[in-house]
Amino acid sequence: MQIAQHLQQTPTSYIREILSDATAEGVISLAGGLPASDHFPIDLIEPSLQSLARAKPEVFQYGETQGYRPLLDFFQQIYQLPETHSALVCNGSQQALDLIARTFLNPGDGVAMEAPSYLGALQVFAIAQARVESVTQQADGPDLNELAELFASGKVKLFYAVPDFHNPTGLSWSLATRKAVAELCIAHGITLIEDAPYRELRFTGTALPLVSSFCPDHALVLRSFSKIATPGFRLGVATGPSQWLDEMIKVKQAADLHTNLPMQEVLLQLLQHQDFPKHIDHLRQLYRSRYQCLADALHKELPAGCEFDDIEGGMFIWLNLPEGDPMAIAKAAIKEKVAVVPSTVFYDQGTEGKPALRLNFSYPSPDELQVAAQRLAKVLAG
């Protein structure tokens, strides 16, 4: 049976390939985007799991497509959604993005993205047969002149962005950029898709408002609980104007009826737990120390010309290389038993950025980060 034509152009994921090599014996992986395994809030989750079967029998039956009502009510309140806005619980924010593409994009519709960009978003837009329009990413966000010109051209319908601790570069937008982008979205009738999975993982500097807070009726916000709760739950939420969410709910109904309910109840109890803020603080401190460990080791070990910007949160360092083919370097690194992701995979086909590697520091232990930096130095010196 032939696969559908629109999938025949989808690039095979290098990340899939490298991640399978990355799990080989002795390989230290800086390639994934995994939170630290030993620091999930198990103590806070365990009592909910233990009482679930007796306390909440309703979570075993079919539920509403939109989500588990007590969790939806909680989101409405903590995100201070106006009456005209609502929430949709999804199987991770990845599904929320996929539902947006399926609900609003026709083949050939334009989507603006910073380059480089999140691979999972590139895959979603490729399947939707959207046309990706890349905008240069600067240290404080997208190039505003480029963005204004692109918006004015009428070529795009959506702007997909990760303004806090971007994947793959770790960069965050300045306050001025946030306001300017929101104004551009309003002025040109472009919908902002604000993907905020790393937002809570700020370990230094001052938190800035969501971009969508400056253009709430022109934005859909995607939040993930994979980084602050656990990825295994596969829970995320989309919020925004109800007339858009209502259309996405219809597609979700056909896609999988609704998201699993027991995990929604467990998440609700976790988010309401009095010790949950402490858990987030713990993660921030943990990731700050791991970041510092990797950053120090890289500064010490790497040859001249390999540079990276300081970051204030998230899970990634974007290591700019003076030269070379990042894919070849990543393959050579695997032979030295360290896995990294080459910059190439984060660009839409046809665009190409400066050579770089994405390095994850949230998952490996401090010892592993140090050894990984030494191995990487050997490859880059080679």
Contacts (CB under 8 A) with a second copy, residues 69-108: 90-92, 94-95, 98, 102-106
Q: How many residues are listed for the chain in this entry?
A: 382
CA distance 169 to 358: 7
**Rounded least distance, CB 63 to a second copy, Å:** 7
Degrees, nearest 5: CA angle 183-102-241: 40
Q: Which of residues 144-183 bind a second copy (CB under 8 A)?
A: 157
No. of helices (H) and no. of strands (E), the chain: 12, 13
Interacting residue with a second copy among 86, 148, 191, 308 (CB under 8 A): 191
**Rounded least distance, CB 376 to a second copy, Å:** 23
If one asks whether residue 49 binds a second copy (CB under 8 A), the answer comes out as yes
Q: Do 98 and 77 touch, CB atoms closer than 8 A? A: no
**Rounded least distance, CB 232 to a second copy, Å:** 4
* Number of residues binding to a second copy, judged by CB under 8 A: 71
Interacting residue with a second copy among 29, 167, 259, 370 (CB under 8 A): 259
Looking at beta carbons only, is 48 or 137 nearer to a second copy? 48
Interacting residue with a second copy among 26, 77, 83, 254 (CB under 8 A): 254
Buried/exposed 57-77: b ≥16 CB within 10 Å, e otherwise: eebeeebebbbbeebbebbbe
Pull the structure tokens for residue 173.
Answer: 């937008």
Residue 40 CB neighbours (<10 A): 17
If one asks whether residue 258 binds a second copy (CB under 8 A), the answer comes out as yes
**Rounded least distance, CB 5 to a second copy, Å:** 5
Sheet with 236-241, edge to edge strand ranges: 85-90, 236-241, 219-224, 191-195, 158-161, 110-115, 131-138, 141-142
**Rounded least distance, CB 310 to a second copy, Å:** 27
If one asks whether residue 57 binds a second copy (CB under 8 A), the answer comes out as yes
If one asks whether residue 18 binds a second copy (CB under 8 A), the answer comes out as no
CA distance 134 to 130: 12
If one asks whether residue 269 binds a second copy (CB under 8 A), the answer comes out as no
Phi/psi for 379 (5° steps) reads: -65, -45
β-strands 131-138, 110-115 pairing: parallel
Residue whose token pair is 């001249």:
304
If one asks whether residue 7 binds a second copy (CB under 8 A), the answer comes out as yes
CA distance 102 to 128: 7
Interacting residue with a second copy among 54, 77, 277, 323 (CB under 8 A): 54
Q: What is the pattern of x (binds a second copy, CB under 8 A) and - over residues 214-243?
A: ------------x---xxxxxx--------
**Rounded least distance, CB 93 to a second copy, Å:** 9
Interacting residue with a second copy among 25, 26, 62, 206 (CB under 8 A): 62
Looking at beta carbons only, is 127 or 271 nearer to a second copy? 127
If one asks whether residue 362 binds a second copy (CB under 8 A), the answer comes out as no
If one asks whether residue 32 binds a second copy (CB under 8 A), the answer comes out as yes
